[in-house]
Amino acid sequence: MIERLDIHSAGIPVLCRACEARHRGVCGALDPDQLVALAKTSSKHRVTSGAELIGDMEAVDGFSNILSGVVKLTKTLSDGREQIVGLQFAPDFLGRPFREESALTAQAATDVSLCSFPRATIEGMLKRSPGLEHRLLEQTLRELDEARDWMVTLGRKTAGEKVASFLMLIATYIDPEFDPRSGSAVFDLPLTRAEIADFLGLTIETVSRQLTKLKADKVIEIENNRRITVENIERLRFRAGL
Amino acid sequence: MIERLDIHSAGIPVLCRACEARHRGVCGALDPDQLVALAKTSSKHRVTSGAELIGDMEAVDGFSNILSGVVKLTKTLSDGREQIVGLQFAPDFLGRPFREESALTAQAATDVSLCSFPRATIEGMLKRSPGLEHRLLEQTLRELDEARDWMVTLGRKTAGEKVASFLMLIATYIDPEFDPRSGSAVFDLPLTRAEIADFLGLTIETVSRQLTKLKADKVIEIENNRRITVENIERLRFRAGL
DNA sequence: CGCGGCATTGATCCTGATCAAGCCCCGTGG
DNA sequence: CCACGGGGCTTGATCAGGATCAATGCCGCG
């Protein structure tokens, strides 16, 4: 394949060619010139599970696109109680323009690869490129919807429904070939039991019990504590409280 | 006062002159010409407590600025369990561009006055005026922060902390002369006990018991079931789990 | 006066938290 | 090869915070 003849790649930085963020993510709002400018100051890198991306220790300053992996956003009460307030998957945009992050920590839940840019680059582009801001608004609206859905789960669902809801959520984001009508899904949990508990407002023991109950009821299978198989997604959805 | 000489009002529609949304709300992003265009198709009106603004019954199509009053956003599970996922106060913007509202209902919690525009007007202006979209992004980011704060409350706080957190929230939004350092606040609850329960993921009885406990502990006073006086805000903040 | 909508209060129940072993899987070092 | 240890997970026993069920109180209003 001769790159210079490929109209779709014309003028697009090598760094960005295969990047999902260019299609579904915020970079989709940029024209080739802007991509080139952005690519000059951007860098790909990987971090391992547990690394802190935003928070007290600013491991990664500025902003990033998530290229792969799962990032968890947590809030901590002064006495140590924790709540995960969001999960981000590729190609989500990570970082908050126009505002110092509130008391929020972003941590890699799995190994994660990122494409990062300095704060100034993005903020400059936001000013000049309304399309970029529009994408950001769309992502923010989506996150707001997700946060509100989760508020219902936290406030009004039982432990069993919470765990089932969590599995539904992961299935839709993670299963490589998830097809809602296929009726089944297989995926690896990106979180430990303790993290799931922090996401659901439960304890580790309750999460464990509910998972074994789902297994006992043949709604899911569990391999190696991590790999989940859902035979019939509809049964799981039902257990999630619809 | 001779209006035409007032430079700040020059060319500004009468409808908008005194409107708070023009300062702190989304309309602040518009220049006088745009305000005029918007005012042509906008209309002020009031609705009474309980009216449904967005949802199955679209009482108000399009978008609105809240001029006064409190609007609650609720989600309902298929079996009837309800969760309030947000409260909106003047001069918040109400309505969701670029997307059919998810399964979300907006209802007047108190009597509310609104300034409404048809959907097409706003969407057109959003396309042409990046400043407007920027304001919208800012409000959305703020709502996202609030939603995430509330997730911590729902997932990790005790009933007592939840009720105290709710009072803190209302105090900061409602008390006409709330000053964080004054140390005290007086306000009317905009929600019934049942609504507070739906906001906090509790039952009506638990809300009632926690309120009487706060009263017994001299953290608050209650008049007429509605009017709350907080002598010492710091003590309340402490009860909210910091 | 009596009714209906909210709110408080009390008694009891039950879901999920807490406390406490013990297991499984793996990596490490003897 | 096995012993050891530790992290993550499961399982069991008990406890307790809120839910649920039920009665009663408080007002405003027709």
Can you list the domains of chain A with their CATH numbers?
3-135 (2.60.120.10), 157-239 (1.10.10.10)
Q: Distance (Å) from the C-alpha of residue A213 to the closest C-alpha of chain B?
A: 22
* A-chain residues near B154 (CB < 8 A): 151, 154-155, 201
Taking a C-beta distance cutoff of 8 angstroms, is the pair B129, B34 a contact?
yes
In this complex, how many residue pairs, one in chain A and one in chain B, have their CB atoms less than 8 Å apart? Answer: 110
The minimum CA-CA distance between A79 and chain B, rounded to whole Å, is 8
> Which residues on neighbouring strands pair with residue B116, listed in sequence order?
B43, B64
DSSP per-residue string spanning A98-145 = TS---S-EEEESS-EEEEEE-HHHHHHHHHH-HHHHHHHHHHHHHHHH
pLDDT tens digit sequence for A56-115: 655 556 889 999 999 999 999 999 999 999 999 999 999 887 766 667 999 999 999 999
Mean model confidence pLDDT for chain A: 89
Chain B residues closer than 8 Å to A147 by CB: 144, 147-148, 151
Q: What whole-number distance in Å separates Cα of residue A169 and Cα of residue A163?
A: 10
Q: What is the pLDDT of residue B1?
A: 45
**Residue A61 to chain B, least CA–CA distance (Å):** 20
- Under a CB-based contact definition with an 8 Å cutoff, are residues B137 and A70 in contact? no
Whether A73 contacts A123, CB under 8 Å: no
Tokens 């569990």 locate to A222
In the structure, how far is the CA atom of residue A162 from the C1' atom of nucleotide D8, in angstroms? Answer: 21
- CB of B35 closer than 8 Å to CB of B50: no
| Band (A212; pLDDT cuts 50, 70, 90) | very high
- Per the CB < 8 A criterion, the answer to whether A178 and A186 are in contact is no
What digits encode the pLDDT tens for the residues A42-55? Answer: 989 899 999 988 87
Residue A192's nearest nucleotide, by CA–C1', is D8
Instruction: Choose the closest CB to A75 out of B79, B102, B152.
Output: B152
The residue count of chain A comes to 242
CB A77, CB A134: distance < 8 Å? no
Q: Return d(Cα A72, Cα A95) in angstroms, integer.
A: 12
List protein-proximal bases of chain D (any atom < 7 A from a CB). Answer: 8-13, 17-22, 27-28
User: Can you give the pLDDT at residue A220?
Assistant: 97
Quote the pLDDT of residue B2. Answer: 46
Could you tell me whether strands B105-108 and B70-76 are parallel, antiparallel, or unpaired per DSSP bridges? antiparallel
Per the CB < 8 A criterion, the answer to whether B121 and B98 are in contact is no
Q: Is any atom of strand D within 7 angstroms of residue B129's beta carbon?
A: no
Nucleotides of C under 7 A from a protein CB: 6-11, 15-20, 25-26
Beta-bridge partner residues of B93: B65
**Would you tell me which residues have their CB within 7 A of strand C?**
A 158-160, 201-203, 205-206, 224; B 192-194, 204-205, 207-209, 211-212, 222, 225-226
pLDDT at B3: 46
With 60 as the cut, is the pLDDT of residue A5 above it?
no
**H-helix or E-strand spanning residue B87:** strand B82-89
| Chain CA centroid to CA B108, Å | 10
Q: Would you say B224 and B188 are in contact if contact means Cβ atoms under 8 Å apart?
A: no
Residue B61: the pLDDT is: 66
Q: CB distance from B78 to chain A under 8 Å?
A: yes
Query: Strands, E, within chain A: which ranges?
Result: 43-47, 52-54, 63-68, 70-76, 82-89, 93-94, 105-108, 112-117, 185-188, 220-223, 227-230
Nearest to A143 among B99, B144, B150 (CB): B144
Q: Write the burial class of residue B233 (CB in 10 Å: 0-12 exposed, 13-18 middle, 19+ buried).
A: buried
Q: Is B147 on the interface with A (CB under 8 A)?
A: yes
A188 touches strand D (CB under 7 A): no
Residue of B nearest to A161 (CA): B77
CB within 8 Å: B151 and A85: yes
Residues A188-212, mean pLDDT to the nearest whole number: 98
pLDDT of residue B188: 94
Q: Tens place of pLDDT for every residue, chain B, 242 residues? A: 444 545 666 788 998 888 889 999 889 999 898 899 889 999 898 999 999 888 765 555 688 999 999 999 999 999 999 999 999 999 999 988 776 666 799 999 999 999 998 888 888 888 888 889 999 999 999 999 999 999 999 999 999 999 999 999 999 998 777 777 788 999 999 999 999 999 999 999 999 999 999 999 999 999 999 999 999 999 999 999 98
Q: How far, in Å, is the CA of B205 from the C1' of nucleotide C11?
A: 14
Residues of chain B contacting residue A73, judged by C-beta atoms under 8 Å apart: 148
pLDDT of residue A120: 87
Mean pLDDT of A207-212: 98
Look at B86 and A145 and tell me if their CB atoms are within 8 Å: no
Tokens of B162: 């939840």
Residue A80 forms contact with B (CB below 8 Å): no
**Chain B residues lying within 8 Å of A241, measured CB to CB:** 77-79
Burial B16-49 (b: 16+ CB within 10 A, else e): beebebbeebbbbbbeeebbeebbeebeeeebee
The single-letter code of the amino acid at A237 is: R
Say how far residue A14 (Cα) sits from the centre of its chain: 25
Q: pLDDT at residue A129 above 80?
A: yes
With beta carbons less than 8 A apart as the criterion, state whether A72 and A80 touch: no
Nearest to A156 among B81, B98, B137 (CB): B81
C-beta atoms of A154 and B241 within 8 A: no
Q: How far is CA A195 from CA A47, A102, A176, in A?
A: 18, 21, 22
Q: For chain B, where are the alpha helices, taking DSSP H only?
A: 14-17, 32-41, 119-128, 130-156, 159-174, 193-200, 204-216, 233-239
